[in-house]
A and B are shown apart, each in its own frame.
Chain A
């Protein structure tokens, strides 16, 4: 195989055929191996969950993950948040001419490993190569299909009296990426939390039938997810600052740069809205690091309030602009 990806790898000719064969070998399964225009999938009667996401992360490799792992976990997690069991993924690359083949191999290996770990199959895909400068190295799109078991209904609306549980410390992905991308040269030791959540979600679905909303906390962080849910539910949400888990090193790094961790991205954290009686069971299913961070109320409709550490409270607004490192 050539050392770098060229436009010929996307032109339908011999080189493209070689590249397609390479991927087919990497992700081999009955459905993919047919190399048809579309994969044929048999599904049981009932509902499916279907989601898509594009991945443009910079840098491509970062502490705790890479674009390949992210592209699988991200879509698997989105599908899982409907209470579904993800089964199949599509995988599409947009590659900038000149991209090193050795890096593509690393990314493909990471996709393979992660898909295996999630028990999902890559059943269809696409490769496009664009001219130098028309894309930044490599972009990946994945779409995922999962089945929703009978009697499962996880929606977008919370109920009054629901409690909110999170599965662990916040802001790790965003701060790890920032440190790697901006070459801030802090030896922060912070790793992205990038992880697939499908098996944990399955455990949660077994542990409780009272989950009203599940949401993975990606861009915009915990605060943005809560604001969206408060608005969709037409209810208020109150959370308690001192109950929100965050690793000390992540908190300190945020402090140094003037970032509010509540708005920083995560890639392996999710929240469940659940009736009080199921809290202990759900916490056990989620993680040893899980914590109850707040509840849903009739008060201050469509808004999120934060009880601060010193006993005051304030609104948790929607993020207006990207956070930028500050002066002092």
Chain B
């Protein structure tokens, strides 16, 4: 392999931000190119899923509970932050269990938790649903937009115009999934994968291992984050997850529909399903013209290639999700660009 063409994709948004924050790109030789992937849950949540949350937040009988970074994501007409400014009851929580507490202390209201995230987040939400069922809590609902990382990785590798030699794999997701599932993925697509942590040194060591693997023509998965990640991961968390959720097709902002890439509640838990409880219908989303977040999310383009970047689209006035999320590629480029 020529030294001029090693392209590595950091899958996770936390990696994107850590790379920007520590200035790692400047330190790398020119032949290594880092591209950002689809692993920021805020960025890949589809516009109509945001519209649904906005719609629910606007109901008088609803308290919307959400992770902080979903607040400012623009839907077609509004954002949760906007709804809150206009009087809707939207509360930022750090954990789904906090949303359950809100439900218990507001029995006259319906509490909807905006469920967004990957395998790191969803098991704790599954546990909360089990808890809600056990305690027979009737006013707690989940708007499930959870996503799975492997279907997205496979989708990206199947795109003809994308060239990635190796993946910097997400440390926290891998704590749950373990390294084993990467093995099959790496073999199928002949890719080098290294799971690494979020410290600057973790990332540098991960990149080094990837470059060595690629130079040797090796594919497979290596763990550079052994203090947290094992081959088998956390089977207990996965068991809880699959007892509550099952796979479903899911729409990714920028990428489109990916088969089996989302999670929805199993039949026996459907009384907690906000979609069923409220039967929310939102109009077909209108996409902002000129926004290339989709291409940015699958690493086809860099934020700087977008005509809106830094001009019409800034963190104060974000147009696309990659600018609004604190861990989005555009936000990272804007914040730490020169």
Contacts and interface: CB of A to CB of B under 8 A. Distances in A.
Interface of A: 182-185, 257-258, 260, 308-315, 317, 320-321, 323-328
Interface stretch (B115-123, B188-196, B251-259, B275-283): B115-123
B94 A324 contact: no
A185 B92 CA distance: 14
Nearest to A317: B335
A326 B315 contact: no
B67 interface: yes
A316 to B, nearest CB: 9
20 contacts: A182-B94, A308-B23, A308-B200, A309-B200, A310-B22, A310-B200, A310-B201, A311-B27, A312-B27, A314-B21, A314-B26, A315-B336, A320-B315, A320-B335, A321-B316, A324-B69, A324-B326, A327-B117, A327-B121, A328-B14
Contacts of A183: 98
B306 to A, nearest CB: 18
Nearest to A241: B22
B172 interface: yes
B120 A325 contact: no
A314 B204 CA distance: 17
Contacts of B315: 320-321
Contact of B94 (A257, A308, A317): A257
A309 B24 CA distance: 10
Contacts of B201: 310
A208 to B, nearest CB: 33
Contacts of B42: 327
Interface in B306-338: 314-316, 326-327, 335-338
Contacts of A313: 23, 26
Interface in B175-205: 200-201, 204
B41 interface: yes
A185 B100 CA distance: 14
Given A324-B326, A325-B92, A327-B69, A314 B23 contact: yes
B22 A325 contact: no
Contacts of B41: 327-328
B72 interface: yes
A327 B67 contact: yes
Contact of A328 (B24, B70, B118): B118
Given A315-B336, A327-B117, A309 B71 contact: no
Given A315-B336, A327-B121, A182 B23 contact: no
Nearest to A313: B23
B68 interface: yes
B10 to A, nearest CB: 15
Nearest to B338: A315
Nearest to B198: A255
A326 B69 contact: yes
Contacts of B121: 327-328
B22 A327 contact: no
B22 A308 contact: yes
Nearest to A186: B94
B273 to A, nearest CB: 21
B20 A314 contact: yes
B94 A184 contact: yes
Contacts of A323: 326
A317 B336 contact: yes
Contact of A308 (B21, B120, B326): B21
A247 B98 CA distance: 27
A75 to B, nearest CB: 30
A327 B45 CA distance: 13
A281 B27 CA distance: 37
A310 B326 contact: no
A257 B93 CA distance: 11
Given A310-B23, A312-B22, A317-B335, A324 B316 contact: no
Contacts of B14: 258, 328
A314 B27 contact: no
A183 B201 CA distance: 33
A310 B19 CA distance: 11
Given A314-B21, A320-B315, A321-B316, A326 B26 contact: no
A168 to B, nearest CB: 23
A321 B69 CA distance: 11
B26 A328 contact: no
Contacts of A257: 94
Nearest to B325: A326
B113 to A, nearest CB: 12
